[in-house]
Structure 1
Amino acid sequence: MSASTATPTRAVVVDDSSFMRTVIGDILREDGIEVVAEADDGAAAVEAVSEHRPDVVTMDIEMPGVSGLEAVERIMATTPTPILMLSAHAGERADVTFEALDRGAVDFFTKPGGEVTAGMPAVETQLRRAVRSVANADLSVDADAPTADPAVEPARYLENPTVIIGASTGGPGVVERVLSELPIAADARVLVVQHMPDAFTARFAERLDGCTDYAVREATDGARIGGGEVLVAKGGRHLTVRNEAGGRLRVALTGDPPEHNVRPAIDVTMRTAAATVSSPLTGVVLTGMGRDGTAGLQRIKEAGGRTVAQDEESSAVFGMPRRAAEAGAVDVVSGIDGLSEAIVGTISEDIP
């Protein structure tokens, strides 16, 4: 079907500010997304979704009456629909945004400002991309499903393994699941690149720190990481691996141009690691839209490392894993129940 005859993505825009509804609606319409309804509070949002059955909802969090959080819960209980949270919350208040994901929202985006700035075209492009990505999400996927029986740990792990995990839409819950199941005995050095606004990656790191035996923190320029530690790429900056010495990696943050319209980009971290790390290296690509991670996995394979990708059945958006697999860049494809076991298999002495 040609782009001209394809059915347009249909959206409901929810915000208590009339001005903000106009801003968001105009941004979406300019990209051919049909805004079928607007709502100024959570109750009206639930009714609009029930009536119009859109492909995607953009949802404000704080609204009078029924909040965005409660609206998400009601929509997912009555008319399950992919929801993108538009949040102005950051820092300590970012918890409310992550709670929206816990209640069923697919992803979130920093609410665009109304002022005209030099950076607005980039923000508009990113918002449209986020809306289209969320609209394609498979709501049957549940990253919080009961964990499978723990994998039998190998007799010995390889020394100083590095694991790079890349994810986008639908990724936060999967990353939490993988890290919660990754054995601390593996003593891996883990780098996480999650496409996420810069105001939220610090809180994401804190959440991850609470779900795993690994010590997790947000990456800073010049940070070093050793076994049993995780660095989360800072939003708005590329995470690069600069050197390896004494069992530790040193990383740097750069403001180089976005790749695949994102920063941090998974490819940047993976290719710099492939060029720098001489010890065992594993690349992992999880759910997300686009092709970020494909070239990175290819570099890791060329450097003698191993690669893993999430399967279609358990991916909210099977874009990045599909592209990587089609390019021949993936050694192992696994469902969410087996992802940690697959990673363990790449960093143990039992690998084939």
Structure 2
Amino acid sequence: MRSVISDILSEGGIEVVAQAKNGREAVEAVREHDPDVVTMDVEMPEMDGIEAAERIMARQPTPILMLSAHTDEDADVTFEALQKGAVDFFTKPGGEVSMEMSRLKDQLVDIVRSVAQAEPRAGDTAEAETDDSSQSHTRYGGRPTLVVGSSTGGPTVVEQVMSSLPVEASLRVLIVQHMPGGFTGRFAERLDARSEYDVSEARDGARISAGEALVAAGDRHMEVANYSHGRLRVALTDDPPVNSVRPSVDVTMQSAARTVDDQLIGVILTGMGQDGADGIRALKEHGGRTIAQDEASSAVFGMPKRAIETGCIDTVTSIESIPTAVLDAIPQEVH
């Protein structure tokens, strides 16, 4: 696997300065070679990907791309590595290693280049702080729907936002994180455990009301199919990728703008590319409130930047302040 990946990256114009057989060697290689980006397996002998990522981020913060298998165990470990500071992950194919990896070579080269542009940050498991004293005296009105879009660097910041939103805000939340199938279910479980909202992976025909959230399933577009009396229903489709991705933030936001007749709030978080820009425009045209993560707190500023360039973003702020910006967008009656 190391040889195949090294060959693919070299053929793609990326200089491979070192290889490591385990996490311990990886930590030392980063110290010695100071690379722009590290690809690292989740499962390794002597020191696994979680510990290696944590040590690298503590000593010499470097963008890390985790390589993960399509298993529940690897999915759990991958999310832990992201929590420790890894930027993104790439799923290793099953079957014959060299044949399958060669098939995915363009995708691998692209994601390595994307991760290399990220601003590395040491992992932080602390939740964003919210002003509980003010929230406890705030009554939220309306029937707001929140649509969140993110990509590279997104899982941990989505978790940060969701853990800071009070269920009293009565939001219906739709989350579109660029992520392959097999991982979105585990992602939803993590969000469910860390937030006051009931979070689940979207199924075709799934419905949510106030205090509930859906995560778009990997490799399926999630559309808002119906909305009535504060209850929202989604449909999953196998339509072609939009902006080269599926699920697409644009698809979900544009369908929400067409279908939901109550308040809409759109948030674009860290990520590569332009997905979400057209969706933000659609939400704004239908009277929604729009928020983008600022450059300083984004691992990759591509998606927020393109959304801001539409001229349709109301608020640009740090990841720590996005939950407050969401709550400020909801009609409130303070007592």
TM-score, normalized by length of structure 1?
0.88
- How has the CA–CA distance of structure 1 residues 316 and 144 changed in structure 2, closer, same or farther, with 3 Å as cutoff? farther
Which runs of 5 or more structure 1 residues have no equivalent in the other structure? 1-19
1:156 is displaced (CA, Å) by 4.1
Alignment partners' CA distance in 1, 2:305 and 2:126: 23
CA pair 213-145 structure 1, distance change in 2 beyond 3 A: closer
Distance of 2:21 and 2:73 partners within structure 1: 26
SS at match of 1:84: strand
Which amino acid in 1 is paired with 2:264?
L
In structure 1, the residue matched to 2:2 is: 21
The CA distance in 1 between the partners of 2:31 and 2:261, in whole Å, is 55
Residue number in structure 1 paired with 2:329: 346
| Secondary structure of residue in 1 paired with 2:18 | strand
Aligned: 1:238 with 2:221: yes
Q: Does 1:279 align with 2:262?
A: yes
Cα deviation digits, residues 328-350 of structure 1 (max 9, x gap): 12111111221011011112247
Q: Which letter does structure 2 place at the counterpart of 1:200?
A: F
Matched, 1:68 2:49: yes
2:77 paired residue number? 96
Q: In the alignment, what sits opposite 1:77? A: 58
Q: Is the 8 A contact 2:4 2:98 kept in 1?
A: no
- What is the root-mean-square deviation of aligned Cα atoms in Å? 2.0
CA contact (8 A) 1:308 1:330 kept: yes
Q: Quote the offset at 1:93 in angstroms.
A: 4.5
Q: Write the mapping of 1:191-210 to structure 2, written as runs, cut at 5 A.
A: 191-210=174-193
Task: Give the length in aligned residue pairs.
Answer: 329
Alignment partners' CA distance in 1, 2:46 and 2:123: 29
The question of whether the paired residues in 2 share the 8 Å contact of 1:89 and 1:97 is answered with no
Measure how far apart 1:79 and its partner are.
2.0
- 1:316 Cα deviation from its structure 2 partner: 1.1
Deviation at 1:155, TM superposition (A): 4.7
How many Å apart are 1:57 and its aligned residue? Answer: 0.5
> How do 1:123-162 and structure 2 match up within 5 A?
123-140=104-121, 144=125, 147-150=128-131, 152-153=134-135, 155-162=138-145
**TM superposition shift of 1:293:** 0.6
Instruction: Find the counterpart in structure 1 of residue 295 from structure 2.
Output: 312
Cα gap change, 1:271 to 1:69, in 2 (>3 Å): same
What is the identity percentage for the equivalent residue pairs of Structure 1 and Structure 2? 59
The secondary structure found in structure 2 opposite 1:210 is: helix
- The alpha carbon displacement at 1:181 in A equals 0.9
Does the Cα contact within 8 Å between 1:126 and 1:261 map onto a contact in 2? no
Q: One-letter code of the match for 1:206?
A: E
| 1:188 and 2:171 aligned | yes
1:324 to 1:35, Cα distance in 2 relative to 1, 3 A: same
What is the deviation of 1:54?
A: 0.8
Shift of 1:45: 1.3
Q: Which residue is equivalent to 1:219? A: 202
**Structure 2 CA distance for aligned equivalents of residues 213 and 146 of structure 1:** 13
Cα–Cα, structure 1 residues 348 and 141, in superposed 2: closer, same or farther, change >3 Å?
Answer: farther
Bigger Cα displacement from structure 2, 330-339 vs 152-161: 152-161
Q: Equivalents in 2 of 1:219, 1:79: separation in Å?
A: 38
With over 3 angstroms needed to count, the CA separation of the structure-2 counterparts of 1:141 and 1:75, relative to structure 1, is closer
State whether structure 2 residue 49 is matched by structure 1 residue 59: no
